[in-house]
Amino acid sequence: MRILGIDPGYATTGFGLLQTDYTGVRLLQYGVVTTPKDLPFPKRLEILYDDLIRLTEVTDPDAAAVEELFWGHNITTGIGVSHGRGVILLALSKAGVPIFEYTPMQVKQAVVGYGKAEKRQVMDMTRRLLHMEKVARPDDAADAIAIALCHARSQTSMLARLQAEKKE
């Protein structure tokens, strides 16, 4: 299974692509999609949409794992990121990619084993689990890899297997 992890944004959207199979999980690629600051906001969203469509064509994921938003102190930024996240979900849906959503706490729990882990702990554990020489940069890409890893671990859990058996 190819899992595309997405850390949503409108200025910078992180992505990470993992391959999971019976041998384990491996990182295939990662990076960011960016939009120019000097463009009007609607044009930035259009660029984000087009780039996400192209990303799904190039990576051909079986599933996408997208982080749910955590509303911090800056509500203006949060609203912009929410718009970006909506565009991302639309692009993935239009591309026919099944979407799975995870909260930051779920990502931390899946990767580190503790839902209130610090960001640096998540990044380091992601690096270790995927046998990377160093933590991915920029942070948005590292976050996206952790989100994809969360989905990989969630889909191979005993609970996921039991739920799948019940559906059959």
CATH value at residue 152 = 3.30.420.10
Active-site amino acid positions: 7, 67, 140
Per-residue pLDDT band for 156 (boundaries 50, 70, 90) equals low
Taking CA atoms, 124 is separated from 71, 102, 131, in Å, by 24, 19, 10
Return d(Cα 87, Cα 80) in angstroms, integer.
Answer: 11
Pairing of strands 24-34, 12-21: antiparallel
pLDDT of 34 higher than 90: yes
SS3 content of the chain, % helix, strand, coil (to 5): 50, 20, 25
Identify the pLDDT of residue 79. Answer: 83
Domain containing 155: what range?
Answer: 2-167
Average pLDDT over residues 145-162: 79
Indicate the pTM of the whole model: 0.89
Return d(Cα 112, Cα 126) in angstroms, integer.
Answer: 8
Domain count, the chain: 1
Per-residue pLDDT band for 22 (boundaries 50, 70, 90) equals confident
Question: Residue 85: what are its φ and ψ, rounded to 5°?
Answer: -60, -40
